[in-house]
Amino acid sequence: MEISFYKYQGTGNDFVMIDDRSATFPEKNLPLVQKLCDRKFGIGADGLILIRNKEGYDFEMIYFNADGSQSMCGNGARCAVAFSRFLGIIDNETKFLAIDGPHKAKVVDGWVELGMSPVSSLANAGQDFFVNTGSPHHVRFVENVNEYPVVQTGSEIRYADQYAPKGTNVNFVTPISQNEIQVRTYERGVENETLSCGTGVTACALVYGYQNQLHEVNISTPGGKLKVRFSENADGSFQNILLIGPAEQVFHGKINVII
């Protein structure tokens, strides 16, 4: 079977993107998803995204982590918007469906402004925090994130009993200035550090913004810069959450696979 794909990246979080409006990709074939995401035996990516038709929406994005598991992906959603615009499915505004529900997005000066799902609350997790921004995130503030053992400590928390059986993503944060933080992330389903995590930086920005009475936070990740804007409600919930950043096409290719 020949599969045509595009490779996209959003601040270094990279994805195999497939125009599957024909709904012919065998999405239940998780070994195929794993193979396509494998950096030695396949194309190589943190995840794989199918773009499908969906009644009432411009498109539906179906996201798979590299291990075949599914969740909401913020950087992937920004890439899905850019890819759908490239395919001519949308112009500069869209309403699409993802695993955590409907999303609106706009393309502004080449960056994608993605509306994230509302967040009901920030929770304490020991000395740290836990936030679900469409996918689960443990957030730990550390002295110097550049020196922190992200993979070792990240995997320990990801597999901790408190998060069993589904696990969580794990983010480590060091404030850089009054309205900027540096974030490194261990991602569930990739089972490694990624260069950035969209739902993860959103979780970190909400915690930091709450602590510092901010409604806009700049985030520096190893893969590039992102911005998160949001408003806070009296009950401690958050809405009008925007994840803003670049999403770029890297290459187009075809791959022959045996299914």
Ligand X SMILES: N[C@H](CCC[C@H](N)C(=O)O)C(=O)O
Q: How many residues bind ligand X (CB under 6 A)?
A: 18
CB nearer ligand X, residue 144 or residue 203 = 203
169 is in an annotated binding site: yes
Q: Does 98 bind ligand X (CB under 6 A)?
A: no
Asked if 169 is part of the footprint of ligand X (rule: CB under 6 A), the reply reads: yes
Contact between 197 and ligand X by CB under 6 A: the answer reads yes
Residue 149 three-state SS: coil
Identify the residue among 198, 224, 245, 246 touching ligand X (CB under 6 A): 198
Pairwise CA distance, residues 75 & 228, whole Å = 12
Q: Is 199 in the site for ligand X (CB under 6 A)?
A: yes
Residue 41: exposure state from Cβ atoms within 10 A (0-12, 13-18, ≥19): exposed
Virtual torsion, Cα 238, 77, 11, 183, nearest 10 deg: 30
Q: Does 42 bind ligand X (CB under 6 A)?
A: no
> Is 73 tagged catalytic?
yes
The distance of closest approach from Cβ of residue 179 to ligand X in the complex, given in angstroms and rounded to an integer, is 21
Given 37, 79, 197, 204, the catalytic residue = 197
Q: How far is CA 47 from each of CA 73, 82, 194, 199, 235, rounded to the nearest angstrom?
A: 9, 16, 11, 14, 35
The answer to whether 197 is a known catalytic residue is yes
What angle (nearest 5°) sits at the alpha carbon of residue 128, between those of residues 149 and 220?
Answer: 60
Structure tokens given for 16: 């195999």
CA atoms within 13 A on the CB side of 100: 19
Of 91, 102, 118, which Cα lies nearest the Cα of 238? Answer: 118
189: contact with ligand X by CB under 6 A:
yes
Distance of CA 207 to the CA centre of its chain: 17
- Within positions 58 to 77, which residues make up the interface with ligand X, using CB under 6 A? 65, 69, 71, 73-76
Under rule CB under 6 A, which residues in 6-25 are in contact with ligand X?
A: 13
**Least distance in angstroms from the C-beta of 221 to ligand X:** 10
Residues of this chain that bind ligand X (CB under 6 A): 13, 46, 65, 69, 71, 73-76, 135, 169, 187-190, 197-199
Annotated binding site: 13, 65, 74-75, 169, 187-188, 198-199
Q: Which residues are catalytic?
A: 73, 197
